[in-house]
C-alpha cells in the first residue's frame, strides 16, 4: 500500500509553490498601476495599453510568430520523415551519423549551435535576417519533433498498413489515409512543441539574426538587461496566457495523450 | 516492406537538411578555430581552394594554426571560466538532486488518479519562455523586490540586500529553470519502484530511513544519473541565466564565448572555445545517447 504522509504533502506543496510563486508575482505586478514594484497602485491595464502603442515590440512579436509558424511547419515535415526513417528505414548507410545528428542538437549548448550556424551563413555569404532565423529554428526543433513522433511510431500497429497495401492501396495513399491519421496527435503535438521552442529561443536567434529581424525574445532581452519594467511584465503575462490557452486547447484536441508525450519530451 | 521512393525521401530530406545546417556548420567552426587569429573580418586564412587539387589541400592543412587554442591555454581567464562553469553546473546539479528528490518521491507516492495532473503541474511552467522565468526572478530579487520586502517585514534584515548580480541568484535561477529536468527522470524511476520491496524490508525489521537508503535510493539510481546528466550538460553552457542574474565576475563559459564573439569579435578564439567546451561535454553526451538508445529499445 502506498502511503502519502504529511512529509510528502509538504514536499509537493513547497515544490509547486517554488514553481508558481515567481510567475504569480509577475502576473500580479503586470496589473499594478504603480511603476514601483513596492507600491500597489491599484489594478489597471495601464501597461497593456503602453504595450499596444509600442511599435517595436509589436513588430518583434509579429516576426517571432511568423518565424515560429514557418519553422515549426518545416520542422514537423522533416522531423516526421526522420522519425519514419529511424523506426522503419531499417539499416541504411550512414544511419549512425543520422541518429547522431538527430540527438546531438537536443543536448548541444545553444551558444555552440548558434555560433556554428552563424559561421555557416557568413562562410556562404548569406544575408542574415528573417530566413536565417527560420532555418536555424527548423534545425533546432526538427529533432524534438522526431523524438515525439518516434515515440508514437514505436507502438504503431503495422498490420493496418499491410492490410491497406494487400487490398491494393499504393504506398503514398496508404501513408496519407492510414499512417498519418493514426500518428496525427503525435505530429500535432510535435508541431506545438516546435512552435513553443521557436518562440522561446533567444541565444540561437541572437547569433543568426540580422537587420529587420528582431524576434520577441531578443527584444525582451535587450529591455530586461536594463532592469525590471512594467511593460515587460505585461507582455510576459500575455505570453503565459497564450501558452496556457494553447495547452488547454491541445489537451482537449488530442485527449491529452499526445500533449503529455510532448510535455515529457520537452524535458 | 520494399524500399520505395517514399522511404528514400524520408531518409534523404532530413539527412540533407541536418548535414547542411548541423554538420557542415560544425566543421566550419572547427576550421575557423584553427584559422589564424584575425580580428573580425572573414575570410579567414588559410582558404581552401578546391581548384588547386592536392597542392591546395596541402597548403590548406599547412596553413592551419593552433594559435587560438594556444591563447586559450595561456590565458588563465579562459581556464577559470571553464572551471567556474563546471563548478556551477556541479553544485547546481547537486542542489537540484537534493530539492528534486523529495518532490519526485512525493509525486510517485501521490494517489494514482492525481499523479497525471500533478506531473502536468510540475511541467506546465516550462512551456513558457525561459527568458520569462528568469525575468520573473528579477522581479522578486531586485533591490525593492518582494524578497527584500518580506525579509524586512519579518525583521530579519533592516537594509535591503542586493540579491541580483550575485552567484546566489545564478544558482537560484538555474535550480528553478532546470527543476523539471531533474524531477521527471527521478519520478519515472521512483514510480516504477515496487512497494512490496519496502514492505519486505519493513517486515524484516528494517527502519524506514534505512530502507530508504538501502532500497529506494539504489533502485532509483538510473533516474538520478539521467536527471543529473540532463541538467549538468546544458547548465555548463548556460548563457541567459548568469547573464541576467549574475555579476560581471560570474563569467561562465557561455558568457565568455558570447563576449569573445560579439564584444571582442575574435571569431577564431570563440570557435576554439566552443570546440573545447564540446570536447568537455562529449563524454556525458555519449552516455546520455547510449541510455536513450537502450530506453528506446526497451520501449
Report yes or no on A83 lying in a domain.
Answer: yes
Instruction: Give the CA angle between residues B117, B122, B126 to the nearest 5°.
Output: 125
Q: Is residue A2 part of a domain?
A: no
Average pLDDT along chain A: 83
Question: What pLDDT score was predicted for residue B173?
Answer: 92
Range of the domain at A99: 47-266
Residue B14 CA to residue B18 CA, distance in Å, equals 6
Residue A198's domain is classified under what CATH number? 1.10.3720.10
Q: Which residues contact B250 (CB under 8 A, 6 or more apart)?
A: B84, B88, B167, B170, B242
- CB contacts under 8 A, B 48-107 vs A, are 99, 102-103, 105-107
The pLDDT, as a whole number, for residue B211 is 85
pLDDT at A77: 94
In total, how many domains does chain A have? Answer: 1
Contact B278 A122 (CB under 8 A): no
How far does the CA of residue A137 sit from the closest CA of chain B (Å)? 10
Q: What would the pLDDT profile of A122-174 be if each residue is shown by its tens digit?
A: 888 888 889 999 999 999 999 888 888 888 888 788 888 888 888 888 888 88
- B contact test, residue of A65, A108, A206 with most B CBs within 10 A: A108
All structural domains of chain B, each given as residue ranges with its CATH number in brackets, are 19-65 (no CATH), 76-298 (1.10.3720.10)
- Test A109 with B236 for CB contact under 8 angstroms: yes
The residue among B271, B250, B249 whose CA lies nearest residue B260 is B271
> What's the number of CA atoms in the CB half-sphere (13 Å) around residue A10?
4
Nearest to B4 among A138, A171, A239 (CB): A171
**Mean pLDDT in order along chain B per 10 residues (299 residues):** 68 87 87 70 58 67 76 86 92 94 90 82 78 85 81 82 84 91 88 84 86 86 83 87 84 86 83 87 70 69
| Domain assignment present for A23 | no
Of A36-45, A55-64, B68-77, the poorest mean pLDDT is in A36-45
How far apart, in Å, are the Cα atoms of B103 and each of A76, A99, A248?
34, 34, 25
Query: Is residue A115 in a domain?
Result: yes
Q: What is the pLDDT of residue A104?
A: 77
pLDDT for the residue numbered A133: 94
Question: Does residue A65 belong to any structural domain of this protein?
Answer: yes
- pLDDT at res. B45: 57
Give the nearest partner residue to A154 out of B21, B29, B299, using CB atoms. Answer: B299
ipTM, interface predicted TM-score of the complex: 0.80
Q: What single-letter DSSP state applies at residue B35?
A: S
Residues 6+ apart with CB under 8 A from A11: B102, B103, B105, B106
pLDDT beyond 60 at A34 = yes
DSSP B193-261: S-HHHHHHHHHTT--HHHHIIIIIHHHTHHHHHHHHHHHHHHHHT--HHHHHHS-TTT--HHHHHHIII
What pLDDT is attached to residue A255? 54
Give the per-residue pLDDT at B117. Answer: 81
**Taking the model in full, what pTM does it have?**
0.82
Domain contains A187: yes
A112·B17 Cβ contact <8 A: no
Give the CA count within 13 Å in the CB-facing half-sphere of A1. 3
A11 falls within a domain: no
Give the model's pLDDT for residue B40.
46
Residue A40 included in any domain: no
Res. A264: pLDDT tops 80: no
The DSSP result for A18-65, as a single string, is HHHHHHHHHHHHHTBSSSSSSS---B--HHHHHHHT-HHHHHHHHHHH
For residue B202, give how far its alpha carbon lies from the nearest alpha carbon of chain A (Å): 13
Amino acid at each position: 500500500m502506498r502511503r502519502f504522509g504529511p512529509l510528502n504533502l509538504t514536499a509537493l506543496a513547497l515544490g509547486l509553490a517554488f514553481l508558481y510563486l515567481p510567475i504569480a508575482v509577475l502576473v500580479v505586478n503586470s496589473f499594478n498601476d504603480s511603476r514601483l514594484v513596492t507600491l500597489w497602485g491599484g489594478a489597471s491595464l495601464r501597461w497593456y495599453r503602453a504595450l499596444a502603442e509600442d511599435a517595436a515590440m509589436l513588430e518583434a512579436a509579429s516576426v517571432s510568430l511568423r518565424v515560429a509558424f514557418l519553422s515549426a511547419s518545416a520542422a514537423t515535415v522533416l522531423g516526421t520523415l526522420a522519425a519514419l526513417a529511424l523506426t522503419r528505414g531499417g539499416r541504411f548507410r550512414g544511419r549512425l551519423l543520422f541518429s547522431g545528428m538527430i540527438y546531438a542538437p537536443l543536448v548541444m549548448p545553444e551558444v555552440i549551435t548558434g555560433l556554428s550556424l552563424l559561421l555557416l551563413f557568413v562562410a556562404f555569404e548569406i544575408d542574415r535576417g528573417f530566413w536565417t532565423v527560420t532555418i536555424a529554428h527548423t534545425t533546432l526543433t526538427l529533432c524534438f519533433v522526431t523524438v515525439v513522433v518516434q515515440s508514437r511510431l514505436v507502438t504503431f500497429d503495422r498490420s493496418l498498413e499491410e492490410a491497406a497495401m494487400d487490398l491494393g492501396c499504393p504506398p503514398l495513399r496508404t501513408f496519407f489515409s492510414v499512417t498519418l491519421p493514426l500518428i496525427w496527435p503525435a505530429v500535432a503535438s510535435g508541431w506545438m512543441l516546435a512552435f513553443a521552442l521557436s518562440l522561446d529561443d533567444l541565444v540561437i536567434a541572437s547569433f543568426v539574426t540580422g537587420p529587420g529581424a528582431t524576434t520577441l525574445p531578443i527584444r525582451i532581452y535587450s529591455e530586461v538587461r536594463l532592469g525590471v519594467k512594467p511593460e515587460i511584465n505585461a507582455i510576459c503575462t500575455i505570453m503565459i496566457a497564450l501558452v496556457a490557452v494553447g495547452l488547454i486547447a491541445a489537451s482537449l484536441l488530442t485527449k491529452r495523450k499526445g500533449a503529455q508525450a510532448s510535455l515529457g519530451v520537452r524535458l | 516492406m520494399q524500399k520505395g521512393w517514399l522511404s528514400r525521401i524520408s531518409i534523404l530530406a532530413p539527412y540533407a537538411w541536418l548535414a547542411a545546417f548541423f554538420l557542415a556548420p560544425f566543421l566550419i567552426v572547427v576550421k575557423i578555430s584553427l584559422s589564424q587569429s584575425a580580428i573580425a573580418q572573414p575570410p579567414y586564412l588559410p582558404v581552401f581552394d578546391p581548384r588547386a587539387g592536392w597542392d591546395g589541400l596541402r597548403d590548406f592543412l599547412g596553413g592551419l594554426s593552433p594559435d587560438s587554442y594556444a591563447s586559450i591555454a595561456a590565458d588563465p581567464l579562459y581556464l577559470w571560466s571553464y572551471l567556474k562553469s563546471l563548478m556551477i553546473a556541479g553544485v547546481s546539479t547537486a542542489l537540484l538532486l537534493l530539492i528534486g528528490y523529495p518532490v519526485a518521491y512525493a509525486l510517485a507516492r501521490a494517489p494514482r488518479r492525481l499523479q497525471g495532473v500533478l506531473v502536468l503541474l510540475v511541467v506546465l511552467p516550462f512551456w513558457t519562455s525561459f527568458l520569462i522565468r528568469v525575468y520573473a526572478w528579477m522581479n522578486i530579487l531586485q533591490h525593492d523586490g518582494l524578497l527584500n520586502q518580506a525579509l524586512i517585514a519579518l525583521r530579519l534584515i533592516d537594509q535591503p540586500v542586493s540579491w541580483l548580480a550575485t552567484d546566489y541568484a545564478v544558482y537560484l535561477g538555474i535550480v528553478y529553470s532546470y527543476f523539471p529536468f531533474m524531477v521527471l527522470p527521478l519520478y519515472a524511476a521512483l514510480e516504477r519502484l515496487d512497494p512490496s520491496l519496502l514492505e519486505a524490508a519493513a517486515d524484516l525489521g528494517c527502519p524506514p530511513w534505512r530502507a530508504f537508503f538501502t532500497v529506494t535510493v539504489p533502485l532509483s539510481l538510473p533516474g538520478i544519473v539521467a536527471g543529473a546528466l540532463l541538467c549538468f550538460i546544458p547548465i555548463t553552457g548556460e548563457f541567459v541565466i548568469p547573464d541576467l542574474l549574475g555579476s560581471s565576475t560570474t563569467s561562465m563559459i557561455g558568457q565568455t564565448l558570447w563576449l569573445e564573439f560579439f564584444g571582442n569579435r575574435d571569431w577564431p578564439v570563440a570557435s576554439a572555445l566552443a570546440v573545447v567546451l564540446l570536447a568537455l561535454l562529449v563524454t556525458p553526451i555519449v552516455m546520455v545517447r547510449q541510455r536513450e538508445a537502450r530506453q528506446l529499445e526497451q520501449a
